[in-house]
Amino acid sequence: MNRPMKKYFLIIALLIFFNSSSLLINAEDARKSELIPNKFTTFEELKKWTETSTFGGGVLIKLQGKSCIYYIADRLHTSGMPTSESIFYKREKNFYKMIYYMPFKYVTREYEYKNGKIVVTEKALNNKENKILITENDL
């Protein structure tokens, strides 16, 4: 391998390593992280953070549960590939509190409430689907 090729190979390897390290964050670390707030005082703050805190933007999804509304911050980390990091919030008396965390993955996620459960459908680039059931007791 010639010298310029080695240089590009090393750069690509480093990019892959540092990007994949974000996959190692567990839910408890996410709750402690300064990058993912545990709570917001207003809906507008939560919405703005969801839409602007990552490179690819994000979408705040309202999902009606049995006893409350869940607010899901679906954050996108890239602009060219499907990615999703999901942080679930629930409105308390005067703030929005983080209640559940799904780490970054190279998928798109869709959310629905069915039969007392939140159904998260993950779709990968190869069109493979994975369904995750979250009961309200898990939250």
Domain ranges of the chain: 25-135
pTM here is 0.74
* The 3-state secondary structure of 61-79, one letter per residue: EEEECCCCEEEEEEECCCC
Rg for the chain, CA atoms, rounded: 17
- Over the stretch 55-104, which tens digit does the pLDDT of each residue have? 888 999 999 998 899 999 999 887 778 889 999 999 998 999 999 999 98
For 44, the token pair is 């507008």
Question: In whole angstroms, how far apart are CA 73 and each of 28, 62, 97, 102?
Answer: 17, 9, 12, 10
